[in-house]
Amino acid sequence: MLKLLSSSSSCLQGRIHSLGPNLGLRPGPTELASPFLRVISSLTGLTRPSSVGRAYFCSDGKDGSDQVAEIEVKKAEAEGEAAESKSSSAIVPTNPRLDDYLTVLALPLPHRPLFPGFYMPIYVKDPKLLAALQESRKRHAPYAGAFLLKDEPGTDPSVVSGSETDKNITDLKGKELFNRLHEVGTLAQISSIQGDQVVLIGHRRLRITEMVEEDPLTVKVDHLKDKPYNKDDDVIKATSFEVISTLRDVLKTSSLWRDHVQTYTQHIGDFNFPRLADFGAAISGANKFQCQQVLEELDVYKRLKLTLELVKKEIEISKIQESIAKAIEEKISGEQRRYLLNEQLKAIKKELGLEADDKTALSAKFRERLEPNREKCPPHVLQVIEEELTKLQLLEASSSEFNVTRNYLDWLTSIPWGNYSDENFDVLRAQKILDEDHYGLSDVKERILEFIAVGKLRGMSQGKIICLSGPPGVGKTSIGRSIARALNRNFYRFSVGGLSDVAEIKGHRRTYIGAMPGKMVQCLKNVGTANPLVLIDEIDKLGRGHAGDPASALLELLDPEQNANFLDHYLDVPIDLSKVLFVCTANVVENIPNPLLDRMEVISIAGYITDEKMHIARDYLEKTTREACGIEPEQVEVTNAALLALIENYCREAGVRNLQKHIEKIYRKIALQLVRQGASDEPAVADQKSPTSQIDLPVEPGVLAAQVVETSETKVEDIDKVDQSVDQTATGSLEKDLPAEPAVGEVEVADTDEPTDSKDAKETEKIQESEGTKTVEKILVDEPNLSDFVGKPVFHAERLYDQTPVGVVMGLAWTAMGGSTLYIETTQVEEGEGKGGLHATGQLGDVMKESTQIAHTVARAILLDKDPSNAFFADSKLHLHVPAGATPKDGPSAGCTMITSMLSIAMKKPVKKDLAMTGEVTLTGKILPIGGVKEKTIAARRGGVKTIIFPAANRRDFDELAPNVKEGLDVHFVEDYNQIFDLAFGDGQNKDE
C-alpha cells in the first residue's frame, strides 16, 4: 500500500507544482517551453539542466516531521536499453497519449489530494502494487490514478492519528479499498521509484467508473475537463485578482512562504484561472476534504471562490500566528532582559562590596546570629547547623527545598542555646514582690521561697513543674507572673484549654507545607533565654481529637527526668528544658490524666475568706479600678460596711474575679454621676458669660427668665428647662436653691450707666468667686445605697434559722467555686405500725443516695442502743430533703449530717445552736476523712458557725490552715458517730479535745 512522505513546517517549499508533458514540456533543450513554466521554475528554485527535473514538495506524513523531498529524476537503469541510458528525464514522451489511459492502477492518498502540476512523494508498502508500478515504468506506461482515501465511518478525522490511518490503509484490500476511495482523483505520472518511495506528478483530473481488478486494485476512469468559461468575464477576473492579492498578503506575512514572494509577484500574471485556483488550494493549509472539494469542482468560477475562501482563512491563521509569536517574543525578551539586569545588578553590587548574593547574605546572617552563643551551643546542634548551611549553598534559590532549609536554619539559630538569664536568689526581695502582688496565699509563697532558697544554696536553679489548682478567680495565672518577676526570669504563657493537636506541643514534620515548631520552641525564641518561667494555663481542659492526645505529648515536656532532651518534631535536635520552671494551672485536679498529674507538684489554692477578700478589695481591686476609671480618691468613698455587704451578699465565690466586676460596676456608675454633675456646672458658667443671658430690662433680682422670655428674642426659658432637666437627672429633684450670684435661668439687672466692658469684668469676678467657694461633693457608697449601684443582693444569709428546728442540721460541702453550707432536713410523713421507710429528694447523686440509706441504717442502730423502747424508725415513713433542689449534689461526706438529722426528728430534740459537721460514715459508725477542709472551714465562718465537727483523720489538714482562717472556731475531731451524738445532743465534751 501507500505511505505519504509528510511535512508540516515547510509547506510552501514543497507545495510547488511542476507541469507535465501535456503543457508542452519535452526532453532536450534546457530552455523552458513557456513563460508559465518559467514561473514554476522560478517558484521552485529549480534549475533544469538538460532533462533532469528537480522540485520540492511538502505534505503531511506519517510521523508529522518536516521532510523536504529533493527529487532528482534520473533514468540510470543499465539494462541494455540505450534510450533510457541516454536520457535522465523523469517525464517520458506521451506515446501513447494521456487520453488513452482509461484503465489505471488506483493509489490511495491518506492525507491530501494530488493537484495537477504538483509533485507528491508517497510510500508504497504493498509489494504487489509496487511491482506493478515498476512493471508499468518498464513498459513505458508510467501512469496511475491517485485518489484521496475517505475516513472510516464513525470516526473524527481531526482525532485519528497518522499511524492509525496508515494501519487502516495497509489493511484495506480489493473492494473494501475501492469503496473507501473518492471518485475524483488525479492522473499521476510515476516520476521515480527508490525503494518503497514513489514520486508522483499530477497531470489531469479523473473519475472512477468501475473496478477492473482487486489485487492490485485497478479501475476504469474517465478523464475530466474544466467546464468552458469566458476569459473576459469580469466576475472571474475580479475573483482571480482577489485570490492573487490575498496570496500576496499571505506570502508577505507568513515566514514559511517568504522565500517565494519576489518570484511569485513577478510571474503571477502567467497563471491561467484554473491553474491559479489549483495553486492556491495546493499551497494552503486547508484540510483534505476542503482540498478534495476544490479538486472535484470543474466550474472555474466556483473553484476560484473555494480557493479564495481557503487563502482568506490562511491569512487569518497567519495573523494569529504572528500575534502568538509576538506575545511569546515579548514575554521571553522581557524575562531575559529582567534576568540580565538582575545579574548585572548583582555583579555591580558585589564588585562595589555593597551586597553579597542571596545565599552568601543568608549564610552570613545565620552565622552572625549564632556567633554569640557558639561556645555554649551543643556540638550536635553545631554539626546540624553546618550541614544545613552547606546544603543551602548547593540549592537553587527558586527550589522549594531552599525555602524549607532557610526556615529551618532561621529557627535553629534563633533559639538561645545555653543563654540563661541571671536569677535573683534574694528571698527577702521575692517575699516583698509576692506580698505586693497578692494577699494571703501563704502556701504558694512558701513553696516559691523554698525554691529560691534551694537555688541559692546550690548556686544554680533547677526547673520544676508546679501545678496551682483552685477555683476560678483566685489568682492562679497572676501568681505565675509574680513568680517570674520575683525570680527575675522571663515570662511566657500559653493556654492548652481545648487543645487537640499534638503538633502544637511537639511541632510539625518539616516535610509538611507550612510546618512550624511547637509552643516550647516558639517560647524559647520569643523570650531569648533558656530558663524562662512558662505558665501552661487550663491544663485540666486538654482536648483529644483526630490529631492525637496532647496530654500524652505533654508527658515528655513536663517530666524532669526527660525534658533535658526534649525532641521537637520540626527541629529534630534535642533541646535542654531542665532549667525551665513550669507552672500549670487547673480548676479541677481530678480532670488531669494520672500519668501527667504524677509528674507535677500540686499546690491547692482553696480561695479567700471574707477578711482576705476585704484586704484584696481595699488594697488591690479598688485602687486599680479607681485609676482605670479616672476617679480621684477624694471624689468617692466606699465604706467597709459596703464592701462587706458586697462580699457577703453578692460575691460569695472562692475567687475575687466577680468581686472585681462588681467594684468596677460601682465605679462606672460613680464616674457617670461625676460627669453628669460636671455637665450641669459647665452650662451655668457658659450662660453667665454669654451676652444673651444679660437682658437690659427693668426686672427685680431673682426674677426667672421665663417671666421675660416673651419680650426677648433669645429664649432663655429653653436654657432654664435644659438646666432643670440636668439637675433632675443628677440630684433627683426639680427644686434647686438659688445661689447668691445669678444662677442659670436668672437675669441680672443691668446698670445702664455702666459701660458694657465693666459689666463683663464684674461678671467674670463673680464667677471666679463662686468657683473658688464651691466645694467638691464626695460620693459616698454605704450599705444602705449599695443596691443603687449593683442591684438587688444575689445571695441571702447562709443561716436559714436562728434556732435550728428539730430534724434540721447544717452540713458543710465542697464545690468547684469553693465551700458552702448545706442544710439537711428530715420530717415525718406518716406513722403506723410497720410503715418505716425513707424518701430522699434534692437532686442527689448516686453516692449521696447511698449515703441516705447508710445513714438510715446507722440511725436506727444508734437509736436502738440509746433508747431500746423507741420504735420511731420502724413505724415512721421519713422524708429527707437537701435544699437548693436545682443544684445537683453528690459526695459521701454528708453521712454524719444525715444521721444527726434523722436522730433529731426521732428524739424530737434539736441539735445545738451554731453547729456544723461533715464526714463520711460507715455502717459500723466509723467516721472517714473528707476533702476540702479549708473550703469547708471558710464556708462555716461565712455561715456564722461557731462549732465544727471534722473527722479525726483531717486534724493535720486543719492545723496547716492559716491562723486567720481558723480563728474563733471551736473544732472537734471525731472517730465514730457516738462522739458526734454527744456533741450534738448531749452536754459533754469530746474526749479528744
SS3 content of the chain, % helix, strand, coil (to 5): 45, 15, 40
* HSE, side-chain direction, 13 A CA sphere, residue 476: 29
CB 382 within 8 A of CB 390: no
**CA 747-749-750 angle, 5° bins:** 115
Residue 474 labelled as part of a binding site: yes
Cα angle, residue 907 at apex, residues 941 and 838 outer, rounded to 5°: 85
DSSP per residue over 386-431, as a string? HHHHHHHHHS-TTSHHHHHHHHHHHHHHHS-TT--PPP---HHHHH
CA gap 458, 449 in Å, rounded: 14
331 is known as an active-site residue: no
Ramachandran region of residue 626, left (φ > 0), alpha (ψ -120 to 50) or beta?
Answer: alpha
* Catalytic annotation present for 245: no
Report whether the peptide linkage leading into residue 96 is cis, meaning its omega lies within 30 degrees of zero: yes
Measuring CA to CA, which residue among 484, 485, 475 is closest to residue 439? 475
* Residue 989 amino acid letter: Q
**Would you say 649 and 793 are in contact if contact means Cβ atoms under 8 Å apart?**
yes
**Residue 472 is labelled as binding a ligand:** yes
Q: Is 476 annotated as a binding residue?
A: yes
Does 477 count as an annotated binding residue? Answer: yes
**In sequence order, what are the beta bridge partners of 585?**
468
Return the axis-axis angle of helices 977-985 and 895-907, rounded to nearest 10°.
50
Cα angle at 437 between 434 and 439, to 5 degrees? 85
Determine how many CB atoms are found less than 10 A away from the CB of residue 436: 13
Q: Are 625 and 663 in contact (CB under 8 A)?
A: yes
> Choosing from 75, 519, 936, 966, which is the catalytic residue?
936
Q: How far is CA 505 from its chain centroid? A: 19
Q: Rounded to an integer, what distance in angstroms lies between the CA atom of residue 744 and that of residue 693?
A: 9
Reduced to 3 states (helix: H, G, I; strand: E, B; else coil), residue 651 is: coil
Pairing of strands 184-194, 54-55: unpaired
Instruction: Output the CA angle 174-176-177, nearest 5 degrees.
Output: 70
3 state SS of 120: strand
CB atoms within 10 A of CB 745: 21
482, 820, 893, 901: which one is catalytic?
893
What are the binding residues?
A: 470-477
Q: Which residues fall in the annotated binding site for ATP?
A: 470-477
Active-site residue set: 893, 936
